Structure 1
Amino acid sequence: MDPTDPVAILAGLIRCPSVTPREGGALAFLGALLSREGFEVARPVFEEAGSEPVENLFARSGGEGPHLVFAGHTDVVPPGDLGDWSRDPFAAEIVDGEMIGRGAVDMKGGIAAFVAAHGRYVRKNGAQKGRVSFLITGDEEGPAVNGTVKLLDWAKTRGERFDACLVGEPTNPDALGDMIKIGRRGSLSAEVRITGRQGHVAYPHLADNPVRAAVAIADALLASPLDEGTETFQPSNLEITAIETGNASVNVIPARCSIFFNVRFNDTWSVETLKAELAARVERGAAADRLRPGRAPASCELLWRERPSAAFSTRPGALTEALVAAVEETTGRRPQLSTSGGTSDARFIKDHCPVIEFGLVGRTMHMSNERVALSELQGLTDIYEAFIARWFAAHA
């Protein structure tokens, strides 16, 4: 296989059914390819109680000097109903100039483009004056417990120090060159469990309806904006995603009710200050007597869910400047520097070095018939090659 051909590399990756947490052959394929290119390849596996073991890959090439790392993931979401696909999601068929397959955009295409870009750079310029590494996980689409966060610590204990990182997530909304992610909003999820007393709806004085308290608590959570946004971030946003009682009977007052919500927040807040604000809102809602006149405050418990992530942004500097210039040189577009969207593994990497994200157009990610135009894949490869050259030139 030509290591400078992103189309061939992407086809090889897509044909590996690496649905989280299965490796599916994708890391083996990538490791073999990088080994032939002179990279030292390691394949650490991480696990912990209550989670699946996950295979990861760390590959490095070069010697002393500035260290640029490319990060990403080979795991993909399930394809869903195969009847919704026009082609086998793991066949990498090309139709009308587009490659169809799960992971084509998110984010095997980014990996293929960077591997090919580095191969082209080395063949034109010789080995870079420093080090290039690949930090690739199989756990980004899953719980993100045994992937990048542990792989970073593993690399650090072995003396690896990174000067900058590019994550190849699909960042462009409409066209290649639209957007570079220079940060991400934080994410915090929670459940409010409200305890009442079950009873017959015709005798409410003998029961205590937790749904009435849930309405008051939900109102308190949503009553006022968390903030108005900052120079770098849009306003923080709280969404209630479910209110559940587990009660299917229309003539029974339920014994309990749960409110589930998620907040995507900006750098106005830390995880701890946001938790304090939300706890105060829940307490105010529980104490409200508008819907529960004469009752004591509702009994409720606030439970924090999943692993929260803090908002972060990367300051302008050599990393951002090199990528912006590479995008402009290749596409003629001046990319927007954005912190929009969901979370990514960049939230772990930012504790180790400056990190930004740039990849393919994300319009079909996680969809049936996920696909990438071959011209776009080649364009991303050209951008990455120009970026590598500019970044190392800035650190010469």
Structure 2
Amino acid sequence: MDDAEQILQDVIQIRTDGDYEARVADYLLKLLDTHHITTKKIEFSKNRSGFIAEIGNDQGPVLGFAGHEDTVALSNPADWTKDPLGGQKVDQRIYGRGATDMKAGLVAAVLAMINLKEQHIPLKGKFRIYGTVGEESGEEGAEKMVAAGMADDLEALMVGEPSGISLKVLQKLSSSLEKLGIITANDVTELLNYNQSSEQHFLEIAHKGALSYDIISHGQTAHSSMPSLGINAVDGLLRFIYEQNIYFEELVKSNNSLLGTTTPVITKISGGEQLNTIPGEARLSILIRTIPEISNQQIIDQLHKILSKVNAKVESQLTMKINFIHEPVFSSSQSKLSKIAQTVGEPLLQQKLGFIGVPGGTDASQFVKANPQLDVLVFGPGNTSAHQVDEYVDTEIFHSFIKVYEQIVARYLA
């Protein structure tokens, strides 16, 4: 066991699946302060703290790194074969909730920063780490940091979310990944033939945004034997669904070269309280994964038009509640950050690294609000065991990413 792995185990052992990120922030801030690195604790509420850490000077650009301290819920701890809060090492793996998503990435960046400082690597510019809270529950930490102007000077941003997949899983999922438009089966075969490690990683330069909203239909209850005395809220909701589906048929025709099409999904629907009562309220929940070609605001504007049209035709009145808006991210494979990461990462990870876009989101959606032209790269230790029972990170990959981050920063700020 070495110091890097012990630090990761310590952080995994801190439970952060709710409002408890402050203990992770305190642990990492103490470690950074020991090495005389400039830090700032960012308090959001009781037991919820993020942080900023920074090395370098004002002689060049600012390269950022975003990593979240929180995790998803443990989910049926009895189903785990390892303690979900144990950080146990077995063979070449460290297990625990958050091991992959994304305490390994955050710890790797912190250790890379410490190594750069201790080795007195000359930098022309600043390397800044953002330790965020609440990424899994809506990216609230990153959102507040960006709103406070803490990212206004960034030129580029790395996000340490897991970017890998085990070779066995990749073989099994190659056809599914091709259907999703992420990578072709032939490209998967080529990567597998070259790979000399346990996982295949990708340079993620794009991911979809997200728009979540509820449509609420307001009617009037009445006895089901006398429906004329009430207003059936479900009827209005059904009319909205019909009109919305017509719009969605057009919406999905736009295409992004890496991300594919916009993906709208109705995820929840409810209405009425009991069988013999006219529903006085009905509700619809929708999540749309968005692409840069059609902005979230354009979609919202069109939804308002649909609402007005439906409200003019039905007795119930419909309203819309926006739950959250996350911007899509799309960067170039030819950016300075992308090219350096590929050059550095391939020999250290012993594999070819291709550029892809993914349907899920990250804190980067908040950072691009401050600078829509921000170069973004999602690249970090970890794999598809995120959010699953027996989540783990490969220790060799973890160590490699510490070196990867060191070299990316050193070259970017050379």
1:53 CA displacement: 6.9
> Which ranges in structure 1 are unaligned for 5 or more consecutive residues?
288-295
Corresponding position of 1:337? 355
Cα deviation 1:219-267 (Å, max 9, x = unaligned): 32223141331234311111111111142x3333322211111111111
CA distance, structure 2, for counterparts of residue 152 and residue 210 of structure 1: 40
Q: Does 1:221 align with 2:215?
A: no
Q: Does 1:148 align with 2:171?
A: no
Corresponding position of 1:306? 323
CA contact (8 A) 1:219 1:285 kept: no
Corresponding position of 1:290? none
CA contact (8 A) 2:21 2:47 kept: no
Cα deviation 1:176-196 (Å, max 9, x = unaligned): 453222233221122222233
CA distance, structure 1, for counterparts of residue 228 and residue 382 of structure 2: 58
> Which ranges in structure 2 are unaligned for 5 or more consecutive residues?
168-198
Structure 1 segment 11-26 matched on structure 2, within 5 A: 11-23=9-21, 25-26=23-24
Cα deviation 1:51-106 (Å, max 9, x = unaligned): x6731211112223233222111122231332122232222111232111111011
CA contact (8 A) 2:218 2:282 kept: yes
1:372 CA displacement: 1.2
Quote the RMSD (CA, aligned, Å): 2.8
Q: Does 1:83 align with 2:78?
A: yes
Structure 1 segment 112-127 matched on structure 2, within 5 A: 112-121=107-116, 126-127=121-122
Alpha-carbon spacing, 1:6–1:300, altered in 2? closer, same or farther (3 Å):
farther
Structure 1 segment 54-203 matched on structure 2, within 5 A: 54-66=48-60, 67-121=62-116, 126-145=121-140, 147-152=141-146, 154=148, 156=150, 161-174=153-166, 176-203=199-226
CA distance, structure 2, for counterparts of residue 152 and residue 260 of structure 1: 27
Report sequence identity in percent.
Answer: 23
CA distance, structure 2, for counterparts of residue 155 and residue 261 of structure 1: 31
CA contact (8 A) 2:82 2:95 kept: yes
Alpha-carbon spacing, 1:324–1:88, altered in 2? closer, same or farther (3 Å):
same
Corresponding position of 1:293? none
Choose between structure 1 and 2: higher helix proportion.
2
Q: Which 4+ stretches in 1 moved above 6 angstroms?
A: none
CA distance, structure 1, for counterparts of residue 5 and residue 149 of structure 2: 30
Q: Does 1:354 align with 2:379?
A: no
| One-letter identity of the residue aligned with 1:220 | E
Q: Does 1:268 align with 2:293?
A: yes
1:283 CA displacement: 4.5
Cα deviation 1:192-217 (Å, max 9, x = unaligned): 22233434445545544332332232
Q: Which moved more, 1:115-124 or 1:68-77?
A: 115-124
TM-score (norm 2): 0.81
> How many equivalent residue pairs?
375
Alpha-carbon spacing, 1:24–1:64, altered in 2? closer, same or farther (3 Å):
closer
